[in-house]
Amino acid sequence: MPGKNLSREEAQQRADILTVDSYRVHLDVSAAEDQAQATFRSTTTLNFRCATPGAATFVDLLAPAVRAVTLNGRALDPAVVFDGARVSVEGLAEQNELVVEADCAYSRTGEGLHRFLDPADGETYLYTHFEPADSRRVFANFEQPDLKAPFSFTVTAPAAWDVYANAVHESVTAEGGAKVWQFAPTQPISTYLTAVVAGPYHVVRDHYSRKLSDGSTLEIPLAATCRKSLARYFDADEILTVTKQGLDFFHEEFDFPYPFGKYDQCFVPEYNIGAMENPGCVTFREEFVFRSKVTEAAYEGRANVVLHEMAHMWFGDLVTMKWWDDLWLKESFADFMGSFSQIEAGTRYRAAWITFANRRKAWAYRQDQFPTTHPITADIPDLEAAKLNFDGITYAKGASVLKQLVAYVGRDAFLEGVRQYFKRHAFGNTVLGDLLEALEATSGRDLTAWSAAWLQTSGVNLLTPQVTCDAEGRITEFAIEQDDASGLRPHRLAVGCYDRAADGTLVRTDRIELDVTGARTVVPELAGRPRPALVLLNDDDLTYCKIRFDDHSLATLRSSLGDVADPLARALAWSAVWNLTRDGLMPARDYIDLVLRFAGTESDIGVLQSLHQQSKAALDLYAAPEWRAEGARLLAEGALRELRAAEPASDHQLAWARFLTQNAGGAEHLQLVQGLLAGTARIDGLEVDQELRWELWLALAAAGHADEAELRTELALDNTASGKQHLTHCLAARPTAEAKAAAWTAVVDSDELPNALVEANIAGFNLAGQRGLTAGYLEPYFGLLETAWAQRSIEIAMRIVGGFFPRYQTTDATLAATDAWLAEHPQAAPALRRLVLEGRDDLARALRAQACDRSA
């Protein structure tokens, strides 16, 4: 498999003969401020050993041009050895030095070395993002995780800039009108973990100290950076507080000192993902620097990401998977630790497990029901497959399974196994068996069967209670049935029984923890007791499963879901009724009715915001088309009612205001939106700040009540990167054929747009309420797929394929067109087919749910 898409077999062949001793990388970005300058100079010196002298291999490099290649002092002709993706080298010695001098390209897609021009002040900023395989866009290397080595970076940059990399800088010297930053060698790390951040970043510095068990003191310099134009919004103190709490927790529990010296956290523009765990130089999307008021859920989410990335310093950076098959070894653990440490480290965010149950697991359940689902330990034959496996299985399902494992083996045994794993494999690479060996040794359990059931199979089990009662309403038998569609698995779970308290709330009156191991498990402890008002399987969310309710319990939830007193139990109930809706077993209008009746009393702001998203999806995808107008009216009226009833200046008030903007369509609601923008209408306590203003403008634009001139006037008030993205979103959302054509053309016919504006155009183009305007793009969409996949970077190609998929054209004709494309393109790239298959599955699910809603 030659070219860009490195295969697992090719990586194994290289690893069998090569050992990399060091990289020295010099990047000259001194001309980066000249936007016409498309490339930068990259010089890489690789020192490596070959176990089979005389053998040949290749180095990965994606670059417009290679100037020179030298192997062991012998010049090679770049025109002969470089094919655009690889540099071939033959006749290797036992000890080798390879020098590659190339012109590499600045990126606008967030892959490689991304360059950003700040419209607010004209400053230029650079940062790298490499996972899984984009360091080869910046320097020549062996692009696979198991060929670790120390890296020494030298960066020549404009004199006014600061430069950050994985290690501390050893010197900064002037050279002409530039400065040369020399960084210390790193510990042995994988290529995808290297990082460079450069520009006139605003920085806040701090320090962390800790006494270690051997009596020494660990000193870690801390830094948090953002663009200068965002500095007034940057709450670095809060970020650094969570950072220190995390460092305390992970040192206490992992018993392995942080191994990478300093700890910089850089918030960067136009970032494709949430964050990246580059050791010593973590990068985050700058949307975590909040320009306007956000809810506590946003702060909690940011803290989770900070701790998730910190956990990676051990899970992923210190100990790294051998190949992408075991990506879960780092991502599942970090996802679990992000929630676990929020509670255990003493942060102010106490609802982490509620958020996990309600949001993260919803992602996992959806992903795990696609026909493209895969085991947690996946089969990853190549880099394209690796890119798509940063998904709900690898992250959220894996984290859910680890939570279940902690319940299974015990917290202390689990953490002691982790400690042994770090000590045994520090700075090395591992596979699944290495972790299981450590956990088996500390827990005393044979985890072979557990691993086979949970890590090496796919799919989610459905658990259903079977309750038999006598004439007096006492339980004669209580059993849990487990479907075997994806294989039977062992579940450690709790059964909660809920009844009315004196104040009318539903409270837990009994809890039984047990192992569910087969198709049917009887719970004898419940026999003889009065039937409770509600029986909740998987109470406390110990295992990974979908749950159903007996008829009596479901009737209780239909009448009284908001009365469930415990917020985690309530979140689990909401999750279960949402799954019923997605599965076509509860009419979408019934789910929306539950939200309208009970969301107003939901105390957890994260759960409330999830309910808003899910009720909108229920209307847009799962409601019968003939009921959508009525459903939209009900959601808008409910949002306005709750907005006016919410406590002034509260998170709930802000959430309901945003929900209103998403559903405003009638004259009354649009008039209020216009009044809030103009200042002629007022909701007591609601601050109409810049971000909320753009959401109000989006509502007006989508309804045809905002023209381009008005939107550009707003941009003049907010001439920032965020403002440009919002403007693009609003322009594409206008309900005209011309607006849709302009958004489509901007993305499809040119690769000049940066990733953030690609995303904004797609978001505005594909709106549920504008199905008629986008119906004609069905044939062009399927016609462009293979070309886009072949010609665009994988990040942009994924956005085009997934973002433009006709997901709101929920008709049999769309389903047939999708099936036809799949049938006619069996040889299309597997990763491309996977995205289309997942879109097809969402369509089929929507049609089934609409049939259920129509029968209501």
Catalytic residue numbers, as ranges: 309
With tokens 């940062």, the residue in question is 127
Rounded to whole angstroms, how far apart are CA atoms 708 and 684?
30
CB atoms within 10 A of CB 260: 20
155: nearest Cα among 191, 199, 111, 114: 199
Q: Which residues pair with 463 in a beta bridge?
A: 482, 547
DSSP SS3 for 223: strand
Angle, in degrees to the nearest 10, between helices 755-765 and 737-748: 150
Closest to 313 in 3D by CA, of 361, 383, 356, 264: 264
d(CA 845, CA 843): 5
Assign residue 198 a region: left if phi > 0, alpha if psi is -120 to 50, beta otherwise? beta
Q: Which residues pair with 315 in a beta bridge?
A: 319
Instruction: Kindly tell me the sign of the dihedral angle through the C-alpha atoms of 728, 731, 734, 738.
Output: negative
Task: Give the pair of three-digit tokens for residue 570.
Answer: 């309530």
Burial of 10 (0-12, 13-18, 19+ CB in 10 A): middle
Continuous segment of H or E residues that includes residue 485 = none
Burial of 623 from C-beta contacts in 10 A (0-12 / 13-18 / 19+):
buried
Distance CA 547, CA 461 (A): 9
Alpha-carbon distances, residue 687 vs 638, 654, 672, 691, 806 (angstroms): 20, 9, 14, 10, 36
Whole-number Cα distances in Å, 414 to 245, 404, 727: 21, 11, 49
End-to-end CA distance of the chain: 53
Cα separation, 497 vs 473, in Å, equals 15
**Cβ partners under 8 Å of residue 61, min gap 6:** 82, 85, 86, 87, 100, 102, 136, 139, 140, 141
Residue 173 dihedral angles phi and psi, to the nearest 5° = -125, 150
Report the distance separating Cα 340 and Cα 350, nearest Å: 10
E-state strands within 130-199: 151-158, 162-165, 169-175, 178-183, 196-199
Tell me the C-alpha distance between 11 and 13, whole Å: 5
CB distance 223 to 280 below 8 Å: no
Distance (Å, whole) CA 384 – CA 13: 19
Name, in order, each residue with C-beta under 8 angstroms of 818's C-beta and a sequence gap of 6 or more: 782, 836, 839, 840, 843
**132: preceding bond cis by omega (within 30 degrees):** yes
Give the angle 446-452-454 at the CA atoms, nearest 5°.
100
| CA-CA-CA-CA dihedral for 506, 510, 513, 518, to nearest 10 | -80
Whether the CB-CB separation of 363 and 578 falls below 8 Å is answered with no
Distance of CA 731 to the CA centre of its chain: 27
What is the DSSP pairing of strand 74-76 with strand 65-71? antiparallel
